[in-house]
Chains A and B, each alone.
Chain A
Amino acid sequence: MTDESSSHPNTLVDHWVAPGDVVLDLTNMANQTLKLGGGLRQECDAIIVTKAGRFKFSKPNKYWVESSQKRYVPCVEDTVLGIVVDSKADNFLVDIKGPTLGFLPVLAFEGGTRRNVPKFEIGTVLYLRVVKANTGMNPELSCTDATGKASEFGPIKDGYMFESSTGLARLLLSRPTCPVLDALGKKLSFEIAVGLNGRVWVNASSPSTVILVANAIMSAEFLSGAQQRILVEKLLQRVQ
C-alpha cells in the first residue's frame, strides 16, 4: 500500500479522515470510473467521507474508508459469524450484528432442496457469506461459496465465541498472519474462525487454552506487533 500511496497523486490516501472531509474532486478526473466502498459518498462533484477512519485506495480505482466499529455494516462477499435467532418457513433469521437481521434461505446450503431442510436450534453459531447487502433490505446470507460448495461454511460446534470490533477482525485476517496469532500458534494448538462482523470463535482441547487465546486476542487490538508478542509470552508464562 505504501508504494501505491506514494505513486498516487491523492495525498489523503492512507491518512485518517473524518466525516465531511472531501477526499476526491471529480472535476479534474472526468473520464475515469471509480469504485467507492464503505464510508464514502458522492455529492455533486466531490467524494465526501461519511465515517471516521483511514482512507484507502487499491489499484486501479477502488476507494474506501477503513474503520473499527462495534456495529457491522453488511457488505457483499464478507464472511461473517451469525447466531440463529428464529426459523421461518423459507428463511432462518440470523443475527450478524448488523442494523437488521440477516435472512438465510433454507435452500442456501450445499445440495439444499425442499426435502432436506436443515434444522438449527436457536442460538446456533453459523459461518456464513453475505450474498446481498442492499439498502433498505435485510441482508441475504448463504452457507455455500460462489460455486455452490459448502467449503467450511455452516454450523460451528462447541468452542467459545466472543465479540470484538470489526477492526480487530480485519487485523486477525490480514496477511502476513498478525503477530498475536503467530505467537500463540507457535506454542498452542487451537482452532479459530473470524467473521468480518467482529465475531471470533475459538476452540481447543482444554478450556484454559481457549480462555487464554480469547483474552490474548481481545487485548491485542491496540498493541503493536512487538507488544503483542510480549503479551502472549507473559500470558503463557502465567499459565505454566
Chain B
Amino acid sequence: MEQRLANIWRMSVNEKKFIENALLSDHRVDGRRPFDYRRLSLKFGSDDGTAEVQLGQTHVMGFVTAQLVQPYRDRPNEGTFSIFTEFSPMADPSFEPGRPGEAAVELGRIIDRGLRESRAVDMESLCVLAGKLVWAIRVDLHILDNGGNLVDAANIAAVAALLTFRRPECSLGGEDTQSVIIHQPEVREPIPLIVHHLPIAVTFAFFDDGEILVIDPTYKEEIIMGGRMTVTMNTNEDVCAIQKPGGQGVKQSEIMRCLRLASQKATDITDKIKKAVEAYDLERAQRKIRRHSSSSAQAACGADIKMSKQVVDVTQKKIDGFKIQSKDPMNQEEVESDTDLENSNTRAPRAMEAEKKDTVALERPNESKLEKPSVEATVDDSHTKEMSASVQQVNQKKSLKDAVKVKSRKKKKVASTMVGE
C-alpha cells in the first residue's frame, strides 16, 4: 500500500493554483498559447506498418499486422479491423500492468470509432475469398511515455502506421482455383491498404466552468481540467467521432467553435502525416533498388569537369531509355495492386531522379579509375575518355536494370557482363 503511494505521481497545491491562474491570462505552463499544438514528430520503423509518434513529451508507437481469418457471418465479403492498446507502467506509474484500465479502454474505443466506424479503411478490398477468407487488420498502440493527450498521439500513430502498412498479395490457384496462394514479398510487391480519408483526433480541455478552452492538454493540465472533448475530423470537415468525458457542461456555441478549430488542426496534422509518409515511401523505394558493387567506392578526387558533364548526359539518356523499358512491367503491377495510379507514377520518377544524382556521384570514382592508366600512358585524349564513358554506360545499365526488373535479373546479368567483357 505504502509502496504504491510512493509511486504515484502527484501534483502540489501550488502547481494547480498556478496553472489555473496562468490560464486566466492566456498563458500555459509550457509556453504555448491556448490554441497551439505541441511539436509533432513522426518516425517509421524498418518494417512496414510501424510508426512512432512524439507529441511533445508524449510518445506512442503504432504497429499494424494482418492475418487471414474467416469473416463474420453477416459481412462475408469484408475484412476486419481491430485496435488494441497497451499502457505500459513504464509510461506512467499510475498505469498498472495486467488488465487494461478505464483510460486504455476509452482510448481504444475513441480511435476505433474514428477509424473503423467512419470507414476510413476500405474493408471490402481485404476480402480474399468471400465467406471463407478475409484479412484481419490489427492495430497495436503502445504508450511509451505519457505527457498528456494520449488520444491524439495514439490516433496519429494508428493512421501513420496504417498508411505505411503493406499486406502480402494473395491470389487463388490450385486445380479447383479455390486454394489461396500467399505471395512472398520478394516475389510480388506487397499491397498497401486503401485508406479513403484520414480521421484526426483533436482534444480540447475546459477549465473554469467551461470559460477557458485549451487545445492539446499536457498531463498537468489533464489533472486540473474540468472537462475534455475529443473531436475526430478529416480534411473534408466530416466529423468522424466526438467523445466528451468529464462532468463539465459545454455550450453549443462552444462546441461549434471547437469543431472549427479541430478542422483547422486536422488539416495541419494531415499535411504533416502525409509528408512524413511520402518521405518514408521514397526511402522505402530507394532501399529496394540494388546498387552496383561500385557504389561502395569512395568519392573520387580529380575527375575533370568536362568529363563529368558528359557522364551526366549519358546517364540522362540512359534513364530515358530505362523509363520506356520499365513502363510495361510497372503498369502491370499497378493493375494488379489496383492502387491509385498517380501515386506510384509520381513516386517512381522521383526515386529515379534521386538515383540519377547518385549515379553521377558514383560515376566519378569508377571513371577516374578507368581513366588513370590512359592518362599515364598517353596525352590527355578525349577519345579514350569517351570510350571509357561508353564502357561505363554499359556497366551502369546493368545496375539500373538490375534494380527494377527483379524477375529477369539473372538473364540480364549474364548478358551485360558479356558485353562488359
Q: Which residues of A are at the interface with B, using a C-beta cutoff of 8 A?
A: 83, 85-86, 93, 95, 98-101, 121, 123-125, 156-162, 201, 207-208, 210-212, 214-215
Contact = CB atoms under 8 A, between A and B. Distances in A.
For chain B, which range describes its interface: under 10, 10 to 19, 20 to 34, or 35 or more residues?
20 to 34
B418 interface: no
A157 to B, nearest CB: 7
A160 B2 contact: no
B76 to A, nearest CB: 53
Given A162-B15, A207-B27, 14 more contacts: A83-B11, A95-B10, A100-B6, A123-B11, A123-B16, A125-B12, A125-B14, A159-B14, A160-B29, A161-B14, A207-B18, A208-B22, A211-B27, A214-B29
A219 to B, nearest CB: 10
Nearest to B30: A215
A37 B124 CA distance: 65
A184 to B, nearest CB: 14
28 contacts: A85-B5, A85-B10, A93-B5, A99-B6, A100-B2, A100-B6, A101-B5, A121-B13, A124-B13, A125-B12, A125-B13, A125-B14, A158-B14, A160-B19, A160-B29, A161-B12, A161-B14, A162-B15, A162-B29, A207-B18, A207-B21, A210-B18, A210-B22, A211-B22, A211-B27, A211-B30, A211-B31, A212-B31
A84 to B, nearest CB: 9
A195 B231 CA distance: 40
A160 B14 contact: yes
Contact of B15 (A95, A99, A160, A215): A160
Interface string B1-39: 011011000111111111101100101111100000000
A156 B14 CA distance: 8
A49 B179 CA distance: 62
B13 A159 contact: no
A229 B366 CA distance: 49
User: Would you call the interface of chain A mostly helix, strand, loop, or mixed?
Assistant: mixed
Contacts of A214: 29
Contacts of B5: 85-86, 93, 95, 101
Contact of B31 (A93, A98, A159, A215): A215
Contacts of B6: 95, 98-101
B12 A100 contact: no
B2 A201 contact: no
Given A100-B2, A160-B15, A208 B10 contact: no
Nearest to A219: B31
Given A158-B17, A160-B29, A211-B31, A123 B3 contact: no
Interface in B249-281: none
Contacts of A201: 14
Contacts of B2: 100-101
Nearest to A201: B14
B12 A124 contact: yes
A31 B18 CA distance: 56
Contacts of B27: 207-208, 211
Contacts of B31: 211-212, 215
A193 to B, nearest CB: 11
Contacts of A157: 14
Contacts of B19: 160
A211 to B, nearest CB: 6
Contacts of A160: 14-15, 18-19, 29
A99 to B, nearest CB: 7
Interface in B59-103: none
A141 B15 CA distance: 22
Across the A-B interface, give the 4 residue pairs with the lowest CB-CB distance, nearest first. Answer: A123-B13, A207-B22, A160-B18, A125-B12
Contacts of B25: 207-208
A161 B15 contact: yes
Nearest to A238: B31
A94 B2 CA distance: 12
A225 B60 CA distance: 33
A101 B13 CA distance: 18
Contacts of A85: 5, 10
Nearest to A212: B31
Contacts of B21: 207
